[in-house]
Amino acid sequence: MKEQDIASELIDIRLQFGLDFVGIATAIAADGQKEIRWKYVAGNRNNRYQKIVLQVGKGIAGIVWRTARPMISEDLKTERLAPLQEYPIALTENLASIIAVPIMSEGAVIGVMLGGYRKVTQIKTSMPTDFQAIADKMQQSLLAVKE
């Protein structure tokens, strides 16, 4: 499994769900802390996502990382727990509706997969389950790249 394979899988996921943006954030240990970065994306408007560095508990990916639970918002402007500035990926990519799920391995979060729409979009009832199932499959790809 190569990084290009993950990128092409993300393109397929984006088309399957009709998403405007899909990304996977992974973590690296830096100065004794985990740094979470958006490593693989599809549908991005620019490369500013590459400059986003989050700690566990910060930003969409950091919150999903800390809680190991999905985060879903059909309208980030009205139903968020923090100011929009706290969600740099949503600002950079102009996302209005998001679904983010943890990618787990042996009970630990190894990544976060985020799907987003640039217009306020109702997230179908089946989507969290379907999106999580795909994220679970992506776990193999992420582990294969790390080896």
Residue owning tokens 């969600």: 87
Structure tokens of 16? 């399957």
HSE-up (13 A, CA, CB side) for residue 107: 0
37-41, 91-95, 109-113, 136-140: which range is least confident on average? 136-140
CA–chain centroid gap for 114, Å, is 3
Q: Would the pLDDT of 64 be above 90?
A: yes
Angle between helices 3-17 and 127-146 in degrees, nearest 10: 170
Distance from chain centroid for Cα 82 = 17
Other beta carbons within 10 angstroms of residue 40's beta carbon come to 21
Count of alpha carbons within 13 angstroms of residue 23, beta-carbon side: 28
136: burial class by Cβ within 10 Å (0-12, 13-18, 19+)?
Answer: middle
Distance CA 54, CA 8 (A): 25
Mean of pLDDT over the chain: 90
- Whether the predicted model's global pTM rises above the 0.75 cut: yes
What is residue 30's predicted lDDT score, i.e. its pLDDT? Answer: 67
Q: For 101, how many CA atoms within 13 A lie in the half-sphere containing its CB?
A: 18
Rounded Cα distance, 33 and 30, in Å: 5
pLDDT in tens, 5-45: 888 999 999 999 999 999 999 988 766 778 999 999 999 99
